[in-house]
Amino acid sequence: MKNLIVLFCCCLIAVSCGKNTKRKISGEWSVSIFEEDRKYTSNTDNSFSRELLKFDGEALQKMEEDPNQSSVFDGIVHEAYWNIKKDGTWERKVSYTVNEPYDKHKFTRVETGSWMFYTGVGEYKKHERIVFTTATISEMKEFENNDVQTINYKIELSETYETVTSKNKTLELALLGNNSYSEINYSNAAPTGEEIENGTLITSRKYRLTK
Condensed to tens digits (0 to 9), the pLDDT of residues 43-70 reads 777 788 999 999 999 999 999 999 889 9
Position 171 in a domain: yes
Single-letter code of the amino acid located at 81: Y
Residue 22 DSSP label: H
| pLDDT tier, 96 (very low <50, low <70, confident <90, very high otherwise) | very high
Highest mean pLDDT among 29-38, 70-79, 173-182, 183-192: 70-79
| pLDDT tier, 4 (very low <50, low <70, confident <90, very high otherwise) | very low
Position 59 in a domain: yes
**What's the domain range around 152?**
12-38+55-182+201-210
Position 4 in a domain: no
Condensed to tens digits (0 to 9), the pLDDT of residues 112-155 reads 999 988 766 666 667 767 777 889 999 999 998 899 999 998 88
Position 3 in a domain: no
Position 88 in a domain: yes
More confident residue, 127 or 24: 24
Q: Is the dihedral of CA 114, 130, 134, 72 positive or negative?
A: positive
Position 45 in a domain: no
pLDDT of residue 16: 39
pLDDT of residue 11: 42
More confident residue, 61 or 182: 61
Position 7 in a domain: no
Flag whether pLDDT at 171 surpasses 70: yes
Helices (H), the chain: 22-25
Q: What mean pLDDT is predicted for residues 167-175?
A: 73
Flag whether pLDDT at 21 surpasses 90: no
Condensed to tens digits (0 to 9), the pLDDT of residues 101-121 reads 888 999 999 999 999 887 666
Indicate the SS3 state at residue 106: strand
pLDDT of residue 7: 33
Residue 146 DSSP label: S
**How many domains are there within the chain?**
1
Position 168 in a domain: yes
The strand pair at 12-14 and 148-162 is best described as parallel
